[in-house]
Amino acid sequence: MKTKKTLLISVFVFICIALVIIVRFSLTHFSPKISPAASREECLKVACRYLDKDEPESAIYPLLLAIEKDEDDFRAHFLLAKVYHQTRIYHLAEKECKISLKLDPQSREALELLCQIKFEQGRVSWKDKNLQPALAEFTFVLEESENQKLVDSIAHLTGGTFKITRLTNDLFCDDAPSFSSDGKRIIFHSDTSYFLEDYGLKKIEVKKSRIFVMDANAENKTCLSSQEENETSERFAHFSHDGRFVVYEKENSSPHISDTIFNVDRDIFIKDSDSNEVKRLTHNDTYDGLPSFSPDDTEIIFVSDRPGGRNSIYRLNLKTRESNSISLKKSWDEKIGLIRRPRGMVLPYCPSFSPDGKKVLLHAGWNTRGVFLLNTDSKSWRRLTDRRNDCFFPSFSFDGKRIVFVSGYSDEEDLYVIDADGSNQMRLTYDGGTKRYPSFAPDGKSIVFAGKRKGEPDNYFEIYLLHLDQTISREKLKERLKDLENVS
């Protein structure tokens, strides 16, 4: 029985090999042939037959032969440009296309092909991070092409089809923005605790982080932090839902910047905007940070690295000042791969309440982070993103229906939106710059985030606003390319 089965397999393999030989023989002996003495018309006919059979490589010789017989044959040059484009020999495709346009400057077909070729060349340069040649090719396409698909493709590559407005333009790192509940103000911190260089300035040491508030249109920027020189860094601020209070984390000491950039000894503070009174909410020698309010403003949720804690999410009652850990069960830790970082910094990270107050949104993990929803009673949890890609910095929309986060699905950090149940994932940006801490506007029509474009220095972030209700125009896209050119 085994011998019979082996024989059948051998016969099957023999038949397959025979079929391959027959096909190759047919292609060799029955494909269209061309003689060097053939007329220009015959050369073009043979080339077209190869193209109809989807054999562009075989069409190259008859087309070159046709051009040899008539160097001013527009059709031969144009077809050869198409062939080189199909075979991805872009420099030769561009050369033949330009010859075609010299022979017939009014040919829209040849011009659109040249735009397609230039887009492909630009895309290769963009992928290789050669920004200047890529931007030059893209600019040509925007100036000449009537193909909206090419325009949209350029928009996707360089930042997405949604309109993006730059709100800040400082020499410092502006970070972690979020809206007030009325949508009129944006709060963020200007993280100046880095050395700045590469701006035509000497390498200088600058002041510590400060919290700022500005109007949603980036006007009337004011500092909420103390201006005293001995004050320590203040970061990660959020408005209360009634707009009266601001909660934030603050360093307990001011280390020399040469010793450390990030001081892990931090506590939570709250400021009353009406009276300017500041109160300290936590008193620990470890890290308490990343605070945000509950929907009813009676509690805050934050990350802590307190000794003996399995995990790092705490909620604090603002009236009683009692804080309790939101316990994560051991099985939960094991399933998501929750581990401790060096020096005791514990994930998860970036916790926030859902608008109904019943769940906590966070990201967790170390090698590969994921976005999770956890019931406040800790009895159940759900992973909203897949395990294969790094997903982080999640934030709810004000109506609780959508979640925005940053991910490296495409090996680049871009913004994504999903429904609250993890479905209907949509990518918002395509530029490949670094992004973090996205946050919805109350009306859901825009997202504010901290971003660093390709080519900009490390630790140099600015505040941007992505408009979900506006797509970028061709003219605005040209302006985007000019901005990118100035950065690169």
pLDDT digits (tens, 9 = 90+) for 64-76: 999 999 999 999 9
Claim to verify: residue 74 and residue 175 sit in the same structural domain: no
Q: If you average pLDDT over residues 453-470, what whole number do you get?
A: 85
327 in the same domain as 424:
yes
Structural domains in the chain (count) = 3
Give a yes or no: residue 330 inside a domain.
Answer: yes
Say if residue 178's pLDDT is above 70: yes
Residue 397: pLDDT over 80: yes
Q: Are 329 and 462 contained in the same domain?
A: yes
Residue 388 falls inside a structural domain = yes
- In whole numbers, what is the pLDDT of the chain averaged over residues? 84
Considering the domain architecture, whether residues 65 and 13 belong to the same structural domain is answered as: no
Whether residues 351 and 423 share a domain: the answer is: yes
For residue 262, tell me if it sits in a domain.
no
Q: Between the ranges 274-288, 324-338, 346-360, where is the mean pLDDT highest?
A: 274-288
Return the DSSP state at 71: T
* 44 and 178, same domain (yes or no): no
pLDDT digits (tens, 9 = 90+) for 188-233: 999 765 544 444 443 444 458 899 999 999 999 999 987 776 778 8
Instruction: Flag whether pLDDT at 265 surpasses 50.
Output: yes
234-238 mean pLDDT: 95
Identify whether residues 83 and 174 lie together within a single domain: no
Give the number of other CB atoms < 10 A from CB of residue 369: 27
277 lies in some domain: no
Specify whether 380 is located in the same domain as 448: yes
pLDDT value for 365: 79
- Looking up residue 95, the CATH number of its domain turns out to be 1.25.40.10
Reading the block at residue 287, the tokens are 């890290």
| pLDDT for 426 | 92
Q: What's the pLDDT band for 433 if we cut at 50, 70, 90?
A: confident
Are both 55 and 78 inside the same structural domain?
A: yes
pLDDT value for 488: 61
For residue 9, is it within any domain? yes
pLDDT at 24 over 80: no
- What would the pLDDT profile of 61-109 be if each residue is shown by its tens digit? 999 999 999 999 999 999 999 999 999 999 999 999 999 999 999 999 9
Phi-psi region of 423 (alpha: psi -120 to 50; beta: other; left: phi over 0): beta
Range 145-151, long-range pairs (CB < 8 A, 24+ positions): 145/111, 145/112, 145/115, 146/108, 146/112, 147/112, 147/115, 147/116, 150/115, 150/116, 150/119, 151/474, 151/477
Go through 324-333 and write b for each residue having 16 or more CB atoms within 10 A of its CB, e for each that does not.
ebbebeeebe
Whose tokens are 């002996």? That residue is 29
Res 368: pLDDT: 79
Residue 342: per-residue pLDDT: 43
Tokens 């510590």 appear where? Answer: 208
Q: How confident is the model at residue 26 (pLDDT cuts 50, 70, 90)?
A: very low
| The pair of three-digit structure tokens given for residue 38, joined into one six-digit string | 């053939």
The answer as to whether 157 is a domain residue is: no
67 and 177 in a single domain? The answer is no
Residue 210 lies in a domain: no
Regarding whether 167 and 65 lie in a shared domain, the answer is no
What residues make up the domain containing 3? 1-30
Note the pLDDT tens digit of each residue in 48-59: 999 999 999 999
Same domain, 102 and 14: no
Nearest Cα neighbor of 301 from 349, 337, 344, 266 is 349
271 lies in a domain? no
Least confident of 115-119, 254-258, 366-370: 254-258
For residues 345 and 287, the answer to whether their CB atoms sit within 8 Å is: yes
